[in-house]
Amino acid sequence: MTEFTPLLSFAGGMVIGLATVALMAVHGRIAGINGILNGFLTTQFNQDWAWRAAFLAGMIVSPLVLLGVTGQMPEISVPSATPLLLIGGFLTGIGTTYASGCTSGHGVCGISRLSARSIVATVTFMTAAIATVFLTRHVFGG
């Protein structure tokens, strides 16, 4: 998980960028995963629901595409206990609610639109992430 993979990273970034531009061009929507999932869960079965389902399905199927291209699945290693993951997920959900969006919506789409609110939100997300990693690895010894 700490391997240097510039080509795969570049390709992944390009695909994310193309997907966000395509979603904005075709549907006039921002590719914030929080909003897409929320709309998928709360929207009736219609055209809006269909593109949300397709976007989410693409996120689920993409590791299989990587398997077909490279011959191996991405390695996933989660060094935290399940209770910590649940607490982290809950806190992230609260944070995305108060921030009116998630890191993908603010970080990828908002910053590219030069949204001041998204820039502040992304700086806040990143500052909190850096502080959390520092505290858990260097202060609390996790």
Mean pLDDT score of the chain: 86
Lowest mean pLDDT among 24-33, 42-51, 122-131: 42-51
What is d(CA 42, CA 40) in angstroms, rounded to the nearest whole number? 6
Average pLDDT over residues 54-63: 90
Please give the residue that has the higher pLDDT: either 94 or 79.
Answer: 94
Per-residue pLDDT for 35 more than 80? yes
Per-residue b or e along 99-117, where b marks 16 or more CB atoms closer than 10 Å to that residue's CB? bebbbbbbbbbbeeeebee
pLDDT at 123 (0 to 100): 93
Per-residue pLDDT for 1 more than 60? no
Q: Compute the half-sphere exposure of residue 40: CA atoms within 13 Å on the CB side of its CA.
A: 15
> Between the CA of residue 15 and those of 18, 19, 20, 59, what are the distances in Å?
5, 6, 9, 11
Compute how many other C-beta atoms are within 10 angstroms of the C-beta atom of residue 78.
9
Q: Which CB contacts under 8 angstroms, 24+ apart, belong to 49-53?
A: 51/23, 51/26, 51/27
pLDDT at 86 (0 to 100): 92
pLDDT at 56 (0 to 100): 92
Query: Residue 142 — very low, low, confident or very high, per pLDDT cuts 50/70/90?
Result: low
List pLDDT tens digits, range 82-129: 898 899 888 888 888 888 888 878 888 888 889 999 999 899 989 988
Average pLDDT over residues 21-44: 86
Per-residue pLDDT for 2 more than 70? no
> Between the CA of residue 100 and those of 32, 67, 139, what are the distances in Å?
10, 34, 31
First to last CA, the chain: 18
